[in-house]
Amino acid sequence: MEAFAVRDLREHTGELVRNAESGQFSVVSKHGKPLFVALPFTDELLSAGVSVALADRLVQSGELSTSSGAKLAGMPYARYLQHLGAMGYSLLDDSASLDYELALLDPVKPIKPAKPGAPTTPR
Q: pLDDT value at position 83? A: 92
5: helix, strand or coil = strand
pLDDT at 92: 65
Q: What is the pLDDT along the chain (123 residues), one digit of tens a residue?
A: 888 899 998 999 999 999 999 988 889 999 999 998 888 887 777 776 888 988 998 888 888 888 899 999 999 999 998 999 898 887 766 666 667 666 766 666 666 666 776 665 555
Q: Are residues 49 and 33 in the same domain?
A: no
**pLDDT (0 to 100) of residue 15:** 93
Q: Is the distance from CB of 38 to CB of 50 less than 8 angstroms?
A: no
Q: What is the pLDDT of residue 112?
A: 65
> What's the confidence (pLDDT) of residue 62?
83
> Does any domain span residue 22?
yes
Does residue 78 sit within a domain? yes
Structural domain includes residue 121: no
Question: Is 108 part of a structural domain of the chain?
Answer: no
67: containing domain: 43-96
pTM over 0.75: no
* Residues 77 and 66 occupy one common structural domain: yes
Number of domains within the chain: 2
* Domain harbouring 36, CATH code: 3.40.1620.10
| Helical (H) or strand (E) element with 103 | helix 95-105
Q: How far apart are the first and last CA of the chain?
A: 75
